Structure 1
Amino acid sequence: MDFDSLQISLSDNNKPIDTLVLRKNRKETFKKDVSLTFNIGSDGKLKPSTDLLIKANLPIESFNPALISLKEDSAIVNNFTLVKDTMARRLILKYRWKQNVSYTLTFEENALTNIFGDKNKKGIRTFTIDKPENYSILTLKVTVPELNKSYILELYKDEVNLQRSDVLTKNSTLVYNNYITGKYTIKVIYDTNKNGRWDSGNIRQKRQPENVWIYEKELTLRPNWDAEEAFAIPKEAATP
């Protein structure tokens, strides 16, 4: 490739959601191995009743199903599906997972090709399916202070690990299925410009950072438990 920079625009339903700009000088190359990450916990367990998500370091151009295999214990299974998501950054593997068995996913060399033509080296990932009783269902009933304004509700585990983000413009009921037990906190961003994310201030434009409110109550999810919490987001405090 002979270029100084490449801009990649990612969109969903024809709406731009992200832009990636890669730069190099003309003597450099972008060639690198395709690397993958998985939505598998550090304990090697996949959340029950969920798809296996395989995220690549760069958008995937194509994959060869003949070079990708899944084993259930020692038996090869063929009745799984593997598709790219709309942004081409992830592969989604769908299968009827079973408890008390070990899964082995193998990507043979050259199974994946990214947008630069780079291919993967052989990779193997083993995992099991976690037990459903280790998870809970959380239902939040949220009242917003002003209709048609935008609020971003973020759910954190252990105060730092973002689990999910939702944009609210009206009173809403949010259901969180199969969330691992533990302690959770809620943060709300007053999304003034309605762009779906928190914006810092800008001194030149004399713009203040968007305000944030943290729900004072810590939520505890217990094994095999349905929890419900109702609260009202307070009206945004006036910026001095």
Structure 2
Amino acid sequence: MKAFNRNIGILFFLFLFYSCANVVAPTGGPKDIESPKIESSIPLNKSTNFNTNEVLIYFDEFVQLKNLQAELVVSPPMEETPEIKSLGKKISIKILDSLSQDQTYTLNFGEAIIDITESNTLKNFAYIFSTGSNLDSIQMSGKVLKAFSFAAPEKAFVLLYSNLNDTAPLTTIPDYIAKCNKNGDFKIQNIKPSVYKIYAIADANNNYKFDLPNELFAFNDSIYTLNYDYLKDSLSKAVNDIELILFEEEPIKRYVKEKKRETRNLCLAVFNLPLEEKVKIKFLKSDLSNNYVFEFNKSNDSLKIWLTDSVQIKKDTTSFVFNYFYFDNQDSVVEVLDTVHFTYKETKDSKTKFSMESLLHKTGNVSEHIPIQFIFSSPLSKIDTSMIHLVELVDSIKKPIPFSINPDSIKLTKYTLDFSRKVKSTYLFTADSGAFKSINNQELDSLKFLFKIVPNEKTGNLFVTLSNVNPNVIIQLVSDKDKIISEKIVSKSQKIEFKNLSEGSYKLKAIFDENKNGRWNSGKYIKKQQVEDVKIYSTDITLKLNWDFEIQWDLNEKTERKSIVPEIKPLKDKK
């Protein structure tokens, strides 16, 4: 009997062992995907005659606060931010500031309230209360976008002021605040009837004031009279569709932000902004104006100086005095005399040999529309065309071809080989040693290029018929890689052409160049100067090989603001 009981015990143990070994872990219930729900609050949300300093908000589950400082928006702002804590299934709000009479307050938590288990977010919960007998109920809404690109800002606030003085956003806290969402949309709620101005800011120092030069800022020229009589026809008691365009003000002061001496005979100066006029330069201790040549770039914000005097070239440091000017905030001329020192340091990568670059170095096939250009390492003093030859190869015969080598209108080192081309013909270009001589009397080695002109088989054309064109509109063609492919300045309704374009996607942009300086200009708040307007063609343009694409564009047509590319750099001044 004992043995039988012992065997039964062993069998029971083995049954339990194998049963446990094959147990499947509990799967639990379905994953929690719901955000926390508010069960109650003391005092009730949207209470009137509010006279306590603590609020308790109860939830249906345990909650916590995430990035509260960044997410919480208190409107109107309080001098002391409320003390807010999560306590299990409730949130405590302690009011530390004295409250104004007959004022409606909104505490918007953004995405700060989440549950503990799965971090589900209770979005845009707002606790609202009034110290008076009524809740103010007027609303304003709209969109904030960055100038030029029309991209939504990463973080921006909309500010509403009853103080209509132009200095108010520079020195005082606003009456109401709203935070933009990721699309740039905003809504200011529970506004008291009054007269207001509206602004927006990407607030770099989180003080709700436009007081730093690099802050993005937007202002609206309108004054809004908000009262219930004015809004009586609006069921929502709201002013909607307000558009605010953020811009960064251009610096006023001009200065040399970068300088270098790449070779002994070449100095480069880069200015922080385009200059109003070409700079005047001279050597610091002597006027050797014949011993250097210089050029500005197309945008008039960088300067190259080539030294020709052997004494100056041998010096490790050479100095110039730059004389230029700019306009201050009062449009008065500010003259600058700037002494700039250029120091040369020999390195293993230092280049001193006179050289030339051309697409003929890279390929033997030249598309019929591509110019053949020669880019020299320094300006030329002489081209001896008697030492240069261009022939067409027809069977075994070399047929001389008339040609010219023409200087560029801006770059002193760029030249173009011009001749009457024949598609599918083969050419031989040769230049003897010494045919090209630099301003430093260096001679280029001999050249020999064999190349063929090939047809434009991998391009398309775009034709744009413009209507309702105001004077001085810059039309830009922009690639899907954020690059400005081409631009044209137009002053009347007309048809423009963009030829020999690669296959791909493009966008069209129109810049309304009000000050006629050939570039887009940002705004200036203190002058009440808005940014120059920009319009973007409503759809992307897809070009295919050997296609002609034609579109009509009415520049008066209202199109939806949309981002073309994040932060295309504005064009520089053209002189």
TM-score by length of 1: 0.70
In the alignment, is residue 8 of structure 1 matched against residue 294 of structure 2? yes
Cα separation, 2, equivalents of 1:209 and 1:42: 43
Q: Cα offset for 1:95?
A: 2.7
- Corresponding residue for 2:404? 82
- Corresponding residue for 2:437? 113
Aligned partner (choices 373, 388, 392) of residue 68 of structure 1 = 388
Aligned residue identity for 1:106: T
In the alignment, is residue 33 of structure 1 matched against residue 354 of structure 2? yes
Cα gap change, 1:65 to 1:36, in 2 (>3 Å): same
Cα separation, 1, equivalents of 2:428 and 2:525: 53
Aligned residue identity for 1:226: D
Cα separation, 1, equivalents of 2:463 and 2:438: 39
Cα separation, 1, equivalents of 2:490 and 2:431: 40
Q: Cα offset for 1:32?
A: 4.8
Aligned residue identity for 2:414: R
Cα separation, 1, equivalents of 2:522 and 2:435: 42
Q: Cα offset for 1:34?
A: 3.7
Q: Cα offset for 1:222?
A: 2.5
- Corresponding residue for 1:53? 373
**Counterpart mapping for 1:123-134 below 5 A:** 123-134=447-458
Q: Cα offset for 1:144?
A: 4.2
Cα separation, 2, equivalents of 1:233 and 1:171: 9
In the alignment, is residue 20 of structure 1 matched against residue 303 of structure 2? yes
Cα separation, 2, equivalents of 1:144 and 1:233: 6
Cα separation, 1, equivalents of 2:554 and 2:498: 18
Q: What is the aligned-residue identity percentage?
A: 22
Number of aligned positions between the proteins: 230
Q: Cα offset for 1:173?
A: 0.9
Cα gap change, 1:122 to 1:162, in 2 (>3 Å): farther
Cα separation, 1, equivalents of 2:368 and 2:532: 37
In the alignment, is residue 177 of structure 1 matched against residue 460 of structure 2? no
Aligned partner (choices 149, 164, 173) of residue 486 of structure 2 = 164
CA deviation profile, 1:131-159 (whole Å, cap 9, x unmatched):
234333321111245x22x2211223444
Cα separation, 1, equivalents of 2:518 and 2:452: 35
Query: Gaps spanning 5+ residues in structure 2: where?
Result: 1-264, 266-281, 317-343, 345-350, 560-575
Aligned residue identity for 1:187: K
Cα separation, 1, equivalents of 2:484 and 2:422: 28
CA deviation profile, 1:197-239 (whole Å, cap 9, x unmatched):
33466799897664543324222232332221111235899xx
Cα gap change, 1:230 to 1:86, in 2 (>3 Å): same
Q: Residues 105 and 125 of structure 1 are in contact (CA less than 8 Å); yes or no, is this contact kept in structure 2?
A: yes
3-state SS in 1 of match to 2:386: helix
Cα gap change, 1:56 to 1:151, in 2 (>3 Å): farther
Cα separation, 1, equivalents of 2:378 and 2:487: 24
- Corresponding residue for 2:552? 230
Cα separation, 2, equivalents of 1:57 and 1:188: 36
CA deviation profile, 1:67-116 (whole Å, cap 9, x unmatched):
32335457544223113236354333233333444444334332223444
In the alignment, is residue 194 of structure 1 matched against residue 477 of structure 2? no
Cα separation, 1, equivalents of 2:405 and 2:489: 27
Which one has a larger percent helix, Structure 1 or Structure 2? 2
3-state SS in 2 of match to 1:120: coil
TM-score by length of 2: 0.33
Cα separation, 1, equivalents of 2:381 and 2:364: 28
Q: Residues 405 and 416 of structure 2 are in contact (CA less than 8 Å); yes or no, is this contact kept in structure 1?
A: yes
Q: Residues 406 and 418 of structure 2 are in contact (CA less than 8 Å); yes or no, is this contact kept in structure 1?
A: no
Cα separation, 2, equivalents of 1:202 and 1:58: 40
Cα separation, 2, equivalents of 1:205 and 1:33: 50
Aligned partner (choices 137, 145, 150) of residue 461 of structure 2 = 137
Aligned residue identity for 2:374: I
Cα separation, 1, equivalents of 2:374 and 2:452: 16
Aligned residue identity for 1:182: G
Aligned CA-pair RMSD: 4.3
Which one has a larger percent strand, Structure 1 or Structure 2? 1
**Counterpart mapping for 1:212-227 below 5 A:** 212-227=534-549
Q: Residues 392 and 427 of structure 2 are in contact (CA less than 8 Å); yes or no, is this contact kept in structure 1?
A: yes
3-state SS in 2 of match to 1:183: strand
- Corresponding residue for 2:87? none
Q: Cα offset for 1:160?
A: 3.7
3-state SS in 1 of match to 2:433: coil
